[in-house]
Amino acid sequence: MLSKKMQDTINEQIKNELYSAYLYLSMSAHFASQNLPGFATWLRVQAEEEQGHALRFYDHVLERGGTVELKAIDQPPVKWPSYLAAFKEVLAHEQKVTSLINGLYKLALEENDYASQVMLQWFITEQVEEEKNATEIIANLEMIEARGTAVLMLDHQLGKREKE
């Protein structure tokens, strides 16, 4: 059984994961309106992954006899001044999520909640990948900006991302 504190913290994380999905879906719409379907596809797949993350937490709460309490999700931005600015926001957001996951893990340790520790290990590994992906895209965009070319080529590459 989950403690009340762990349950409440995971319910907050469900909201945060759904906000992530909302943010990336908004970014996807922004890039689709800019006629960059590859960027839009990459971000839409990312949004779907975040929904899956929320459901992992949701299922964990229910499997441990807890109560899921869905909270209101803030409205994300709808425009970004550049490709680079959008992906820098992706990285900053993923770093924030990493911090939240680490906080959850710390709480699980303090409460000797071994089942939550095991579940959170998956998220810790996932966050390393999320930050790595965003960092690589930013590096590519910075190279593109320095040379002023290849945005459409990167857009095509991002469009090849498949659902996992």
For 82, which DSSP code? S
For residue 149, what pLDDT band results from cuts at 50, 70 and 90? Answer: low
For residue 37, what pLDDT band results from cuts at 50, 70 and 90? Answer: very high
Q: Would you list the domain boundaries of the chain?
A: 4-159
CA torsion 149-159-16-76 (nearest 10°) is 60
Radius of gyration of the chain (CA): 17
User: What separation in angstroms does the CA of 15 have from each of 9, 37, 43, 54, 57?
Assistant: 10, 28, 19, 8, 10
**Cβ atoms of residues 151 and 97 within 8 Å:** no
Q: Which fold has domain 4-159?
A: Ferritin (1.20.1260)
Percentage of residues in the chain having pLDDT higher than 70 = 97
